[in-house]
Amino acid sequence: TGNGTHCDIIDECSSGAHNCHRLAKCVDTKNSFTCTCNHGFTGDGNTCTDYDECASGDNGCDLSSTFCDNHFGWHRCVCLPGYMNLGSETSCVPTLTEGADNLSDS
């Protein structure tokens, strides 16, 4: 917009004059704007849908000790039966069973 001699810069993102999806981030550029889907979603920024990290295999889960559990916009790695989590977001360790030898320094 402007008076023909001087053009006013419009921030489409701040003014709401954009068509980005509600699950996308609007970034103002010099003469326009761009839309990018938020983390955990996929699309062109005008349309965003859940990105299923579990189905795609893009999840980081150690499949020998966990399974991937997809949620809307995120996922988690869940320990398989017989495994427990010790603080890792992507892997688990075997649980000790009753009667198992305890490891100790000799």
pLDDT over threshold 50, residue 105: no
Question: 6-20, 40-54, 65-79: which range is least confident on average?
Answer: 6-20
User: pTM for the complete prediction?
Assistant: 0.70
Mean pLDDT within 77-105: 78
**Would you give the distance in Å from CA 53 to the centre of its chain?**
8
E strands, 1-106, in order: 24-28, 33-37, 41-43, 48-50, 66-71, 74-79, 83-84, 93-94
Average pLDDT across the chain, whole number: 87
